Amino acid sequence: MATVALALTALPALGQERPWLHVQVEDGDDNTKVEVNLPFAAVEALGDSLGGHILDEIEREWDHDTDVDVDAEDLQALWQSLRDNPGAWVTIDEEDRGNLRARMDGDEIRIEGSGGDGALDVRFPVAFGDALFGEEGTKPDLAAAIRALADHDDVLVSVGGDDGRVRVWIGPR
């Protein structure tokens, strides 16, 4: 009986394939194409092992290259203030040079831009920021933020123009 119950619980998981991270880079000049496809579980494994070290490295580089003192609490406060004010965060419209918009749209953060050189579209779930910056008194957690992307069945970054195109997305194999 217990075996049957266990098998029934496992059935939905069998039908639902785990997501993959896809990256495509195309260079418009020499027709070079790069394609990367990784099971998201492998990306999570890298995040779990490397996440903390990557953030330490970014912090070291920041401290080395700038005089601006930013700590985890500042980032959490900034994220919380953005989170508390959904809607348009940044809007730049320049007739000749293009436009850029950053906004929180439902449970998604969108950055869209276009200009003479091409177009930009960035979409991240709000859960990514929540997991990355965490709560007061905690350190930023890249591994948790990566795990929060697993349900984002959509484009993460799309940048394209005459010179080439970069597209990063999470979806089926």
Partner 1 sequence: MLRLLGLLLAAALISALLFGACAAACGVAVVSVVAEEGPKIVAPVPLMLPLAALHLVPDHLVDHEIHEEMDALEGAAVLALGPFARALEAAGDAVLVRVTDGEDQVLIATEGDDLVVRAREGGDSGNRVFVRTPLRVLGDIGDACEALGDSEVRCDPLGMARSLLSAARGTEIEVRDGETRVDVTVW
Residues that bind partner 1 (CB under 8 A): 18, 20, 30-39, 41-42, 44-46, 48-50, 52-54, 56-57, 173
Tokens 């990306």 identify what position? Answer: 43
H helix runs in 66-173, sequence order: 72-83, 126-133, 142-148
For residue 11 the two structure tokens come to 């059935």
CB neighbour class for 150 (10 Å; exposed up to 12, middle 13-18, buried from 19) = middle
Residue 169 pairs in a beta bridge with: 22, 155
Instruction: Report the amino acid identity of residue 61.
Output: E
Minimum distance from residue 18 beta carbon to partner 1 (Å): 8
